[in-house]
Structure 1
Amino acid sequence: MAKHSERENGLQDLMEIMLESMMIAERREFLNNAEGNKGNGFRHGRSFGQGRVLEFRIPRDRYGNFHPKILALLRDQEMECERLAGSLYCRGLTQSQVGEIFGEIYGEHYGKAGIPRMIDYLRSDVERWLNRPLESYYPIVFVDAIHVKIHRKRSVGTEAFHVVLGVKEDKKREVLGIHNRPAESATAWEEIFRDLRDRGAERVGLMVSDGLTGLETALSEVYPTAQLQRCVTHLKRNMLSKVRHGDKMELAEDLREVFRTGQKDYTREDAWENWTALCKKWGKDYRSIKKMGGEIGYKYYFTYLQYHHAIQSMIHTTNWIERLNKDFRRVLRMRGAMPNEDSVLVLMGKVAMDKDAYDRELPGIDKDESLFPR
């Protein structure tokens, strides 16, 4: 074991000597073509090579114009390793597991000492991204909350991580924010919306959400001109859960008739009339459905009908953000309970940053001129 360690240390010493010699030779060639310039000693440097921390002297010139090419190659290798470590970490491996993989590939020192530094770089990148400036206007914004088990104060509890997904004026999507608030409430959503506004998002056209606690109140406080659309898919699921199995198919057909999309002549008034008729019909046998017909709050499920018929199917549910949440859960599920909220934000943030699909335009989403003014 001692001989193996001595051999590795000797190899590292040799690599450092070779690198330093190569840089001195580079400087000599550089100075041959730089009249009036000359060598000016050395500065201390360190980098990674073959998985090890290398320390050496970097030759300097009088005017500070000499930059060894070999260092650029080492930095490229280091950046590739950082990207690989971040990718493995964000696909569900723990920091320790990433370290084991790097230890096998690059050597023990890289595995044990290099990984925390790489994850810190990833954490810094995500932090900057989560706090970046936003555009001033978002035609459509989808919001939802995903619940994650995390450690806090020596116990494990489920906390809400609120996700905000926006459609931009260029018809592309981006995640605007991911915020940890342990419980959903009007205060939590108001804080989140104010954070978005402070980062530059001054106006929202339409907000699409599930029946999130306190969202309507927060929206009226921060974005008073924004319209609210409740997710029709969630309402349908809720309705179907209220009836026995033999009635589900018929109720599903009645719900499809109420929540139509893509029909020019189908209005909010028509839909509300059909809704109250449905609640009256099914309310004869199910008391919980009968109560729903008279509650004015259900009108928020029909907001989509005031927009162009070609985009109604895109805005009457939270399907897009639900797909994003599936990606979040896929990564988080591999970890069990997360060690802290920062680790959750890093993983969710990296997943959101890497969504290639959001670089593509949504065809036809801009047909409604009230949301996308010409």
Structure 2
Amino acid sequence: MPRKRPETRRSKIAKILIEEYQPQNAQDIQEALKDLLGDTMEELLKAELDEHLDYEYGEKPLSLNTRNGSSKKTVRSSYGNIDLNIPRDREATFEPQSLKKYEKDISKIENQIISMYGKGMTTRDISSHIKDIYGFGISETMVSKITNKILPTIEEWQNRPLEKIYPMVFLRHTLSRKRKQHSSKKSSIHCPRLQLRRF
């Protein structure tokens, strides 16, 4: 009897993405990951602005420097371009740390963001991921505020209702040698199979 391979966080995330977005091709999967990354990056930036202004959205401002809407920014990731709404303050003193003002590439932190959505992560695990994203120059209170800001999104993602049956496509290939005159060449034979699985 073959041994069953243990399920990793990556495979859990993949199952959740398939269930939620029901992708039909690779482009659909990229769009789902772009949505996930974009929403999380915006929440990180909002939490940073809360820390900078020293009050949360909906509370009374403590100083004259208040929120001033947002500006659009397009960043690159390994999944393609993502449009973000970057929050602003009136005095233009807000300098985001997770996405610097003139930074256009977020591919270095996207894997950490995606891994936060894996099932079973504790608040401590999420906090350590946030520390990895920001580096060492971040206070514990800021880590706590950012974690509290994105935790509801992560919990909502993890607690979605799941379907009872999922169609799965298994692709398998066999290598064989083909002889042609005086040489041989390896070729691959692909064998797709569709199966319904109950969870």
The two structures have a TM-score, normalised by structure 2, of 0.35
Greater share of helix: 1
Q: Which has the higher contact order (CA 8 A, sep 6+)?
A: 2
Greater share of strand: 2
The two structures have a TM-score, normalised by structure 1, of 0.19
